[in-house]
Amino acid sequence: MAVETPLKGNIGDSIKRKEDDRFIRGRGNYLDDIVLPGMLHMSIHRSPFAHARIKSIDTKAASAVPGVIAVVTGDLLAQHKLAWMPTLSGDTQAVLATDKVRFQGQEVACVIATDPYVARDAAALIEVDYDVLPAVVDPWKSLEPGAPLIRDEKEGQKNNHIYHWEAGDKAKTDEAFAKADRVVKLDTFYPRCHPSPLETCGIVADVNSATGHATLYMTSQAPHAHRTLFAIVAGLPEQNIRIISPDIGGGFGNKVPIYPGYVVATAASLLIGKPVKWVEDRSENLISTGFARDFHMSGEMALRNDGRMLGLRVKMLSDNGAFYADAQPTKFRAGLFHIVTGSYDLPAAHVETDGAYTNKAPGGVAYRCSFRVTEASYLIERLVESAALEMNMDPTEIRLKNFIQPEQFPYMSATGFEYDSGDYPRAMQLALDKLGYKELRKEQAEKRKKGELMGIGVASFTEVVGAGPGKHYDIVGLRMFDSAELRVHPTGKAILKLGVKSQGQGHETTFAQIVTEELGIPAADIEVQEGDTDNTPYGLGTYASRSTPVGGAATAMVSRKLRDKAKKIAAHLLEASEADIEFDHGKFFVRGSPSKSKTIQDVAFAAYTNLPDGLEAGLEGVTYYDPPNMTFPFGTYLVVVDIDRGTGQVKVRRMVAVDDCGVRINPMVVEGQIHGGLTEGFGIAFMELITFDEEGNCLGSNFTDYLLPTSWETPKFEMGETVTPSPHHPIGAKGVGESATVGSPAAFVNAVIDAVGHLGIKNIDMPVTSDKVWEALNKVGAAE
Ligand code: CDP
């Protein structure tokens, strides 16, 4: 019988996820599992109207309910200067409404009670007298003269326009368009959708009035940054605030912003002197926290007749809701949307973006996306599909003709990104081979003759992840570095503490693997800790696929720092000169005599027991890593669909996904990330939609209206990989968590358009539901 050697956990080893032991046994410790002695519960009374002036709030009936301890209104918060808070985009947001409500579901008052159900019942008894105002839910209409002014409390705000921001070179782009043989245009809308993590947002705020210490258990993807913001907003000394982000049941960007519920629960705990818990229910999550997308995009591509791309012109209007609360680097008003040139060698590009207030919930979170890269990737990949269709070219041929070539890296894009590495033709070829593209095209031609609708969708995305070089990227002024602290104990076991924070991505396993690779300590001997601000080094958190590019790099660098010190100790133990010591997989030996060696465990013991003269005891260190550049993962996704003319139903027959995220630390974890991302992309493409009626009522506020894909609908995914290391990352890794959500929606929609394009249907906006497909077919007389 063959005996399997257990994997040590080096880079490239698909070891099982350490954290799953506790999760599959039901021993995870999520926010709602936290119960403190004397803890009270908070429920929020929300506005039923999208736009209304508050005439009065009557809290008498709610206050009289047995078990109710306090009712908090905006006026009470205003006395403590907490009625408004700053957003991550430098705007302000009402914590509890004082003057008027600006979206349906806005926080108006909070009830604190001894029991969560009492709090909820009492919140329903709060009487608010509203003067209802006209609502505007369409950003185009909100920018028209005479539209209701949403942010009338903002000094100098005379209309609903938020920002104008541009990237690229306008004159050069105009020149390219003047020279073009033809221009292809696409207007499209990436609808509002929601990250909808399994666990909603929540807090247990425990402010000790005797010591002034605030311990805040929060569903936070960025606990350190949140602590700093709490210190600034609430005026509490930062050292007195401890944010603990426990196990998190998914974040996807939903848990990056600071929400009113967090602020009121903390203020209530401070005023009452007891811990206060607030956990959103599902509808609260869907209507009030962290929506994504809502981008109206218009792209024009200048081309030569042979299909060579000459220039790109993009206009985008973002619907930001009532408060501009996007979580993104300060300098970039529309996030990193200007990555919209994608995988193509576009000599000129110009991007103009504008934002508008509407009577909808704020958010603008980068749902599984690096600051609006998803919308950009969707637009360029849909636009290339339109170009192929109009020019009667194969969608793979036009891409191959225009891809940035491997020898062009590092490549400077027309909008100012320096792409680190890539081999786009190789990823595409692998995907085409896996799918059997040529045969499927033949099948499609045969089917078309019989009137059957089959489509093959292509998307070759490029992402930009790993913010970032601190000189360009910051969140409310905090430079976007990240950190790792590593201590090796005398018995050779280690604790690694990180500034990032997993929401289910497997950091406890994969970050240990980086230390294993660098120091030779088995992954099982390394404990990874995250999420407690008192116990981990400062970092900007986990979102935008930045953990591996930044926190992973910090981990490799701190390991190397320890290795350098370990070398000195090994030289002492081996009675050799440090210059003669070599290291290989956990062993230090004298060059030329590998049998004379000391293990990392021997060295760790010596670090506390037997040191060379003059060397500090211990084996620990910390690294704050500021990456020299972002990383640029990429891939090609191919989708095959069959469409029923009678119902408009789209069936995804095949999906091949080839991803390149540089060196893969744990291939199994990477596949899991891609699988999850593709599922979310599928849901967005075909099912998920949060929309609003004319009065601003949110449609899509529960899981019977907002449809998430289950295993029943989700197609089977066939995955492949290429590996093009990042030249500047210490272990050559790029981020991967978001690639599949970024790249896949365009592949799904392109497959539908590929099936119906020959009938004259050029675009169907997401979600591509059967009724929309049938209607489009019916319009061109092709429905049955
Ligand atoms: O920031 P976030 O953790 O969401 O995204 P990520 O850095 O892309 O990592 C997601 C998970 O995949 C982590 O557990 C990573 O360590 C792992 N990963 C990997 O094993 N190899 C890569 N090249 C990239 C990520």
Phi-psi region of 760 (alpha: psi -120 to 50; beta: other; left: phi over 0): left
Q: How far apart are CA 62 and CA 65, in angstroms?
A: 6
Residues 446 and 505 in one domain: no
Question: Which of 597, 625, 653 represents a domain boundary (last residue)?
Answer: 625
Find out whether 313 and 211 touch, Cβ atoms under 8 Å. Answer: no
Residues 644 and 663 in one domain: yes
Tens digit of each residue's pLDDT (9 = 90 or more) over 210-221 = 999 999 999 999
Residues 82 and 122 in one domain: yes
Question: Which of 285, 303, 334 represents a domain boundary (last residue)?
Answer: 285
Q: Would the CB of 510 count as within 6 Å of ligand 1? A: yes
Tens digit of each residue's pLDDT (9 = 90 or more) over 77-90 = 999 999 999 999 99
In degrees and rounded to multiples of 5, residue 164 shows phi and psi of -130, 135
pLDDT at residue 746 in the model: 98
Residue 667 has pLDDT above 60, yes or no: yes
Residues 577 and 544 in one domain: yes
The size of the chain, in residues, is 784
CA of 670 to the centre of ligand 1 (A): 7
Is residue 744, in this structure, part of any structural domain at all? yes
Q: Would the CB of 536 count as within 6 Å of ligand 1? A: no
Give the side-chain half-sphere CA count within 13 A for 590.
10
Tens digit of each residue's pLDDT (9 = 90 or more) over 602-640 = 999 999 999 999 999 999 999 999 999 999 999 999 999
Continuous segment of H or E residues that includes residue 535: none
Residue 3 has pLDDT above 70, yes or no: no
Q: How far apart are CA 724 and CA 406, in angstroms?
A: 10
Atom 11 of ligand 1 has which residue's CA nearest to it? 505
Q: Would the CB of 669 count as within 6 Å of ligand 1? A: yes
Q: Would the CB of 665 count as within 6 Å of ligand 1? A: yes
Q: How far apart are CA 100 and CA 98, in angstroms?
A: 6
Residues 347 and 267 in one domain: no
Residues 299 and 243 in one domain: no
Return the amino acid letter for 266.
T
Sheet holding 593-599, edge to edge: 581-584, 587-590, 593-599
CA of 74 to the centre of ligand 1 (A): 41
Q: Would the CB of 623 count as within 6 Å of ligand 1? A: no
Return the amino acid letter for 156.
G
pLDDT at residue 180 in the model: 98
Q: What is the mean pLDDT of residues 679-689?
A: 97
Tens digit of each residue's pLDDT (9 = 90 or more) over 450-477 = 999 999 999 999 999 999 899 999 998 9
Residue 327 has pLDDT above 90, yes or no: no
**Can you tell me which atom of ligand 1 is nearest the CA of 548?**
7
Q: Would the CB of 767 count as within 6 Å of ligand 1? A: no
Q: Would the CB of 9 count as within 6 Å of ligand 1? A: no
Residues 217 and 310 in one domain: no
Q: Would the CB of 677 count as within 6 Å of ligand 1? A: no
Residue-averaged pLDDT of the chain: 96
CA of 665 to the centre of ligand 1 (A): 8
Question: Which of 285, 306, 340 represents a domain boundary (last residue)?
Answer: 285
CA of 547 to the centre of ligand 1 (A): 6
Residues 672 and 773 in one domain: yes
Is residue 16, in this structure, part of any structural domain at all? no
Residues 614 and 507 in one domain: yes
Is residue 397, in this structure, part of any structural domain at all? yes
Q: Residue 53 is part of which domain span?
A: 34-133+200-251+255-285
Is residue 592, in this structure, part of any structural domain at all? yes
CA of 669 to the centre of ligand 1 (A): 8
The runs of H, that is alpha helices, within 333-453 are 373-390, 395-402, 424-435, 437-449
Residues 318 and 383 in one domain: yes
CA distances from residue 618 to 489, 522, 555 in whole angstroms, order as listed: 8, 19, 18
Residues 234 and 345 in one domain: no
Is residue 613, in this structure, part of any structural domain at all? yes
CA 566 from centre of chain? 38
Tens digit of each residue's pLDDT (9 = 90 or more) over 520-563 = 999 999 999 999 999 999 999 999 999 999 999 999 999 999 99
Atom 17 of ligand 1 has which residue's CA nearest to it? 670
Atom 12 of ligand 1 has which residue's CA nearest to it? 670
Which value, in Å, is the radius of gyration of the alpha carbons in the chain? 27
CA of 340 to the centre of ligand 1 (A): 23
Binned at pLDDT 50, 70 and 90, residue 328 comes out as confident
**Full-prediction pTM beyond 0.85?**
yes
Is residue 435, in this structure, part of any structural domain at all? yes
Of 325-339, 386-400, 426-440, the one with minimum mean pLDDT is: 325-339
Which stretches does DSSP call E strand in 434-555?
453-462, 474-475, 478-479, 482-488, 494-498, 526-529
Q: How many domains does the chain have?
A: 3
Is residue 147, in this structure, part of any structural domain at all? no
Say which CATH number the domain at 610 has: 3.30.365.10
Residue to mutate, 11, 547, 723, ligand 1, most ligand atoms under 8 Å from C-beta: 547
Find out whether 387 and 399 touch, Cβ atoms under 8 Å. Answer: no
pLDDT at residue 233 in the model: 80
Q: How far apart are CA 773 and CA 694, in angstroms?
A: 24
b/e per residue 543-557 (b: at least 16 CB within 10 A): bbbbbbbbbbbbbbb
Residue 320 has pLDDT above 60, yes or no: yes
Residues 596 and 676 in one domain: no
Q: Would the CB of 733 count as within 6 Å of ligand 1? A: yes
**Can you tell me which atom of ligand 1 is nearest the CA of 666?**
20
Is residue 170, in this structure, part of any structural domain at all? no
Phi-psi region of 371 (alpha: psi -120 to 50; beta: other; left: phi over 0): left
Catalytic residues: 221, 368-369, 738
Say which CATH number the domain at 241 has: 3.90.1170.50
pLDDT at residue 1 in the model: 52
Neighbours of 561 (CB within 10 A): 17
pLDDT at residue 142 in the model: 98
CA of 506 to the centre of ligand 1 (A): 8
Q: What is the mean pLDDT of residues 236-262?
A: 96
Binned at pLDDT 50, 70 and 90, residue 653 comes out as very high
Tens digit of each residue's pLDDT (9 = 90 or more) over 730-747 = 999 999 999 999 999 999
